[in-house]
Amino acid sequence: MSLNLIKLCVGCDSVEDLEEWIVFRLDERRRAGEPVEQYHTTRMVPTRAAEIVDGGSLYWVIKGSVQCRQLITEIRPFTDAEGIGRCHLVLDPIVTRTEWQPRRAFQGWRYLKPADAPADLGKGRVGWAEMPPKLRQELAELGLL
């Protein structure tokens, strides 16, 4: 059974912001002649990496709610220029929207069991995902999403 991670998406106000950032970074890497892949750098290396890369995802908390996820394809530990151990969470660049699930702020990442993860948005809720981000946020703050 796969295991997921959950992390705050700092600097993004919406899933659309995250998607734009991913496209921008992939284009930057392409222009620089680097491998065209998306990854997120984190200091702590998950000890349960084998369970995570076996179908696990990184669930993003945006503005106080889990709103989307990305499949984790690889976990690459490395040592940075200052000698600090870190790792790259290599992600599938496709962002899958999920049902909104409120989350309090926390530092770093946490493990997220599949049973505790929000469900992907089904076809019946596509219109909800197309709703303007500000309206979705206001409805979530009112407890209506």
The answer to whether 93 and 38 are in contact (CB under 8 A) is yes
pLDDT at 128: 60
pLDDT at 40: 95
Domain boundaries along the sequence of the chain: 4-141
pLDDT in tens, 51-93: 999 999 999 999 999 999 999 999 999 999 999 999 999 999 9
The answer to whether 58 and 89 are in contact (CB under 8 A) is yes
- What CA–CA distances, in Å, run from 134 to 105, 129, 140? 20, 12, 10
Q: Confidence band (pLDDT; 50, 70, 90) for 140?
A: low
pLDDT higher than threshold 80 for residue 144: no
The partner residues of 56 in beta bridges, in order of sequence, read none
The answer to whether 40 and 11 are in contact (CB under 8 A) is no
The one-letter amino acid code at 65 reads S
Which of these, 1, 7, 5, 13, lies nearest to 137 by C-alpha position? 13
Percentages (nearest 5) of helix, strand, coil residues in the chain: 30, 35, 40
pLDDT in tens, 86-136: 999 999 999 999 998 999 989 999 999 999 999 998 755 555 656 666 676
